[in-house]
Amino acid sequence: MSVESRKSASVVRMSPMFRVQHGLLMLTLLVLALTGFALMYHDNWLARLLIRLEGGVLFRGFIHCTAAVILMAQMVFHAYYMLFTREGKRELKDFLLGIRDFADFGQAIRFNLGAASEYPRIGKYGYKEKFQYWGATIGTFLISITGVILWAETTTMSLLPKVVLDITLIIHGYQGLLAFVILLFWHVYNEHLHPSVFPMNRAWLTGNVDAEWLRQEHPLEYEKLKQEGVL
């Protein structure tokens, strides 16, 4: 295969199902962040502006809860999809954490520092993707639980002391901040600012990536596809 044709070939990386899930996740997280941080940091002009735009403090809560319901429903659907469908099971297998990922991470750092001679050969999902995926999963889980406790305050008040609700609120807020920080420093770098994808990895829109990109960044997956005859 010539260099020319190799470059133009593209591979499916995100099926329509995952693109829809990713799109919904992005949308809900954005809405949740805008409505949530406005409340968490309510004492400045930006928050005041946001809350005003969100239709006041009451409507802000309504928007936040609506987005949260969509996020949680999506989380449940995603769990079902990953555990019980053919495509989901295959993807989950690729996403499972192994000792290999930690080794890859170590080797990558060593290589970056010049201490290892070779960059680790990454499969479909490397340590970068897996950190993002499992971080988001655990984060969404934690923020959903705390969110529901706070939302159902009429019920939780009868079960929990106020101090527990105070702590729940702190966890909920900081968990949101944590998610925001990860998205900003990890996801935005890996999927937008990284030289191999700059300005953006288009897989979330088109579903496809260049075969050449795959060969460089995910060589094991590239070889696997080649063996399967997809490429």
Can you give the binding site for another protein, defined by CB under 8 A?
39, 42-43, 51, 56-58, 108-109, 111-114, 119, 153-155, 157-163, 166-167, 170-171, 174-175, 177-178, 181-182, 185-186, 189, 193-196, 216
Q: Which is nearer to another protein, 39 or 70 (CB)?
A: 39
- Cβ of residue 188: shortest distance to another protein, in angstroms? 10
3-state secondary structure of 118: coil
Instruction: Give the shortest CB-208-to-another protein separation in angstroms.
Output: 23
Do 187 and 131 meet the contact criterion of CB atoms below 8 Å apart? no
Cα–Cα distance measured from residue 78 to residue 170, given in angstroms and rounded to the nearest whole number: 27
Measured from the CB atom, is 38 or 203 closer to another protein?
38
Dig out the tokens for 3 from the structure.
Answer: 């260099």
Q: Name the minimum Å distance from CB 63 to another protein.
A: 14
**Backbone conformation region of residue 164, classed left if phi is above 0, alpha if psi is from -120 to 50, else beta:** alpha
- Least distance (Å) between residue 180 CB and another protein: 9
CB closer to another protein, 17 vs 177: 177
Rounded CA gap, 34 and 60, in Å?
9
Q: Residue 145 corresponds to which amino acid?
A: I
